[in-house]
Amino acid sequence: MVVVLPGWVWRGGPVRRAVIIGLSAGVFFGAFVLAESGSWVGAVAAVLVLGPFYGIRVARRMGRVWPGAGDLDPADRVAVVRAARRGEDIGDARLAPAVVDYCNGLRTAREHDRLLLWVVLVFAALAVALALIDTFSGSTRQAGVSWLFVLIFLVELTWWPRRQSRIMSRAEQAERSARRVLRQRDSSGE
Protein backbone atom coordinates (compact mmCIF):
# COMPACT_ATOMS: atom_id res chain seq x y z
CA MET A 1 0.00 0.00 0.00
CA VAL A 2 2.73 2.46 0.95
CA VAL A 3 4.44 1.93 -2.40
CA VAL A 4 1.52 3.28 -4.42
CA LEU A 5 0.60 6.25 -2.22
CA PRO A 6 0.93 9.50 -4.20
CA GLY A 7 3.61 12.01 -3.27
CA TRP A 8 1.22 14.68 -1.99
CA VAL A 9 0.17 12.40 0.89
CA TRP A 10 3.68 12.87 2.31
CA ARG A 11 3.27 16.66 2.47
CA GLY A 12 1.88 16.67 5.99
CA GLY A 13 3.06 15.13 9.20
CA PRO A 14 1.84 11.82 10.60
CA VAL A 15 -1.46 13.22 11.89
CA ARG A 16 -2.34 14.82 8.56
CA ARG A 17 -1.40 11.61 6.72
CA ALA A 18 -3.59 9.59 9.10
CA VAL A 19 -6.53 11.94 8.54
CA ILE A 20 -6.18 11.97 4.73
CA ILE A 21 -5.80 8.20 4.45
CA GLY A 22 -8.32 7.43 7.17
CA LEU A 23 -10.98 9.71 5.76
CA SER A 24 -10.49 8.28 2.27
CA ALA A 25 -10.65 4.70 3.52
CA GLY A 26 -13.58 5.43 5.83
CA VAL A 27 -15.64 6.99 3.04
CA PHE A 28 -14.77 4.06 0.76
CA PHE A 29 -15.83 1.45 3.34
CA GLY A 30 -18.84 3.52 4.37
CA ALA A 31 -20.01 3.66 0.75
CA PHE A 32 -19.76 -0.12 0.57
CA VAL A 33 -21.79 -0.54 3.74
CA LEU A 34 -24.41 1.89 2.45
CA ALA A 35 -24.60 0.17 -0.94
CA GLU A 36 -24.82 -3.30 0.58
CA SER A 37 -27.19 -2.67 3.47
CA GLY A 38 -28.82 0.66 2.67
CA SER A 39 -28.10 1.71 6.25
CA TRP A 40 -26.83 5.24 6.83
CA VAL A 41 -26.11 4.34 10.45
CA GLY A 42 -23.89 1.45 9.33
CA ALA A 43 -22.16 3.67 6.79
CA VAL A 44 -21.41 6.36 9.38
CA ALA A 45 -20.21 3.67 11.81
CA ALA A 46 -17.86 2.34 9.12
CA VAL A 47 -16.45 5.82 8.53
CA LEU A 48 -16.03 6.48 12.25
CA VAL A 49 -14.49 3.10 13.12
CA LEU A 50 -12.62 1.92 10.03
CA GLY A 51 -11.41 5.37 8.96
CA PRO A 52 -9.34 6.13 12.06
CA PHE A 53 -8.16 2.52 12.37
CA TYR A 54 -6.93 2.39 8.79
CA GLY A 55 -5.57 5.95 8.79
CA ILE A 56 -3.53 5.47 11.95
CA ARG A 57 -2.27 2.06 10.81
CA VAL A 58 -1.07 3.29 7.40
CA ALA A 59 0.41 6.54 8.77
CA ARG A 60 2.40 4.54 11.34
CA ARG A 61 3.58 2.16 8.64
CA MET A 62 4.64 5.12 6.48
CA GLY A 63 6.70 6.41 9.42
CA ARG A 64 8.38 3.03 9.91
CA VAL A 65 9.09 2.61 6.20
CA TRP A 66 10.73 6.03 5.88
CA PRO A 67 11.74 7.31 9.32
CA GLY A 68 13.89 10.06 7.78
CA ALA A 69 10.78 11.73 6.37
CA GLY A 70 10.34 13.58 9.66
CA ASP A 71 13.70 15.30 9.20
CA LEU A 72 12.60 16.97 5.96
CA ASP A 73 10.27 19.88 5.47
CA PRO A 74 7.02 19.08 3.65
CA ALA A 75 8.12 20.42 0.25
CA ASP A 76 11.36 18.40 0.37
CA ARG A 77 9.46 15.22 1.33
CA VAL A 78 7.15 15.64 -1.63
CA ALA A 79 10.09 16.40 -3.96
CA VAL A 80 11.90 13.24 -2.84
CA VAL A 81 8.82 11.03 -3.25
CA ARG A 82 7.96 12.49 -6.65
CA ALA A 83 11.51 12.16 -7.97
CA ALA A 84 11.71 8.56 -6.78
CA ARG A 85 8.28 7.59 -8.13
CA ARG A 86 9.06 9.20 -11.49
CA GLY A 87 12.61 7.84 -11.71
CA GLU A 88 14.07 11.32 -11.96
CA ASP A 89 17.26 12.90 -10.68
CA ILE A 90 16.40 14.84 -7.53
CA GLY A 91 18.52 17.74 -8.76
CA ASP A 92 19.61 18.65 -5.23
CA ALA A 93 22.63 16.96 -3.64
CA ARG A 94 21.25 17.82 -0.22
CA LEU A 95 18.20 15.57 -0.87
CA ALA A 96 20.09 12.67 -2.51
CA PRO A 97 20.47 10.76 0.80
CA ALA A 98 16.71 11.10 1.35
CA VAL A 99 16.03 9.57 -2.07
CA VAL A 100 18.21 6.58 -1.19
CA ASP A 101 16.50 6.27 2.20
CA TYR A 102 13.00 6.50 0.68
CA CYS A 103 13.84 3.91 -1.98
CA ASN A 104 15.12 1.54 0.70
CA GLY A 105 11.83 2.04 2.52
CA LEU A 106 9.86 1.27 -0.63
CA ARG A 107 11.76 -2.01 -1.02
CA THR A 108 10.99 -2.92 2.58
CA ALA A 109 7.30 -2.08 2.13
CA ARG A 110 7.07 -4.10 -1.06
CA GLU A 111 8.68 -7.15 0.55
CA HIS A 112 6.25 -6.88 3.45
CA ASP A 113 3.33 -6.68 1.01
CA ARG A 114 4.59 -9.79 -0.78
CA LEU A 115 4.62 -11.69 2.49
CA LEU A 116 0.95 -10.82 3.02
CA LEU A 117 -0.14 -11.95 -0.45
CA TRP A 118 -1.60 -15.14 1.00
CA VAL A 119 -3.95 -13.03 3.16
CA VAL A 120 -5.24 -11.23 0.07
CA LEU A 121 -5.71 -14.56 -1.71
CA VAL A 122 -7.71 -16.00 1.21
CA PHE A 123 -9.94 -12.93 1.38
CA ALA A 124 -10.37 -12.95 -2.41
CA ALA A 125 -11.53 -16.57 -2.24
CA LEU A 126 -13.94 -15.69 0.57
CA ALA A 127 -15.25 -12.74 -1.45
CA VAL A 128 -15.94 -15.04 -4.42
CA ALA A 129 -17.75 -17.52 -2.14
CA LEU A 130 -19.86 -14.77 -0.59
CA ALA A 131 -20.62 -13.28 -4.01
CA LEU A 132 -21.86 -16.67 -5.20
CA ILE A 133 -24.02 -17.06 -2.08
CA ASP A 134 -25.44 -13.55 -2.55
CA THR A 135 -26.07 -14.22 -6.23
CA PHE A 136 -28.19 -17.28 -5.49
CA SER A 137 -29.83 -16.34 -2.20
CA GLY A 138 -29.44 -12.60 -1.67
CA SER A 139 -30.92 -9.49 -3.17
CA THR A 140 -29.75 -8.04 -6.45
CA ARG A 141 -28.14 -5.17 -4.57
CA GLN A 142 -26.22 -7.55 -2.29
CA ALA A 143 -25.04 -9.61 -5.25
CA GLY A 144 -23.92 -6.51 -7.13
CA VAL A 145 -21.94 -5.17 -4.18
CA SER A 146 -20.41 -8.59 -3.53
CA TRP A 147 -19.23 -8.90 -7.12
CA LEU A 148 -17.89 -5.35 -6.97
CA PHE A 149 -15.88 -6.43 -3.93
CA VAL A 150 -14.55 -9.39 -5.95
CA LEU A 151 -13.56 -6.94 -8.68
CA ILE A 152 -11.61 -4.89 -6.13
CA PHE A 153 -9.70 -8.00 -5.11
CA LEU A 154 -8.94 -8.70 -8.77
CA VAL A 155 -7.51 -5.21 -9.07
CA GLU A 156 -5.49 -5.84 -5.91
CA LEU A 157 -4.09 -9.05 -7.38
CA THR A 158 -3.45 -7.84 -10.95
CA TRP A 159 -3.16 -4.07 -11.39
CA TRP A 160 -1.56 -3.28 -8.02
CA PRO A 161 1.53 -5.52 -8.47
CA ARG A 162 2.16 -4.12 -11.96
CA ARG A 163 1.84 -0.58 -10.62
CA GLN A 164 4.22 -1.40 -7.76
CA SER A 165 6.73 -2.88 -10.22
CA ARG A 166 6.67 0.27 -12.36
CA ILE A 167 7.13 2.49 -9.33
CA MET A 168 9.94 0.31 -7.99
CA SER A 169 11.71 0.32 -11.35
CA ARG A 170 11.55 4.11 -11.46
CA ALA A 171 12.62 4.38 -7.82
CA GLU A 172 15.68 2.24 -8.50
CA GLN A 173 16.55 4.55 -11.38
CA ALA A 174 16.21 7.60 -9.11
CA GLU A 175 18.26 5.85 -6.43
CA ARG A 176 21.10 5.14 -8.88
CA SER A 177 21.07 8.79 -9.86
CA ALA A 178 21.11 9.90 -6.21
CA ARG A 179 24.01 7.54 -5.44
CA ARG A 180 25.96 9.05 -8.37
CA VAL A 181 25.38 12.51 -6.93
CA LEU A 182 26.58 11.31 -3.51
CA ARG A 183 29.72 9.74 -5.00
CA GLN A 184 30.48 12.94 -6.91
CA ARG A 185 29.94 15.00 -3.76
CA ASP A 186 32.19 12.68 -1.73
CA SER A 187 34.93 12.65 -4.35
CA SER A 188 34.93 16.46 -4.58
CA GLY A 189 35.23 16.68 -0.78
CA GLU A 190 32.16 18.84 -0.15
Q: What mean pLDDT comes out for the span 132-153?
A: 92
Sign, CA dihedral 42-43-48-53, equals positive
Question: What distance in Å separates the CA atoms of residue 154 and residue 162, rounded to the nearest whole number?
Answer: 12
> What pLDDT sits at residue 101?
96
> What pLDDT sits at residue 46?
92
* Residue 3, pLDDT above cutoff 80: no
Q: What is the pLDDT of residues 56-112, one digit of tens each?
A: 999 999 999 999 999 999 999 999 999 999 999 998 889 999 999 999 999 999 888
Q: What mean pLDDT comes out for the span 121-136?
A: 94
| CA geometry: angle 183, 170, 161, nearest 5 deg | 140
Phi, psi of 12 (to 5 degrees): -90, 175
Question: For residue 184, how far is the Cα from the chain centroid?
Answer: 33
> What pLDDT sits at residue 156?
85
pTM reported for the whole predicted model: 0.83
* Residue 113, pLDDT above cutoff 90: no
pLDDT band, very low/low/confident/very high, at 8 (cuts 50, 70, 90): confident
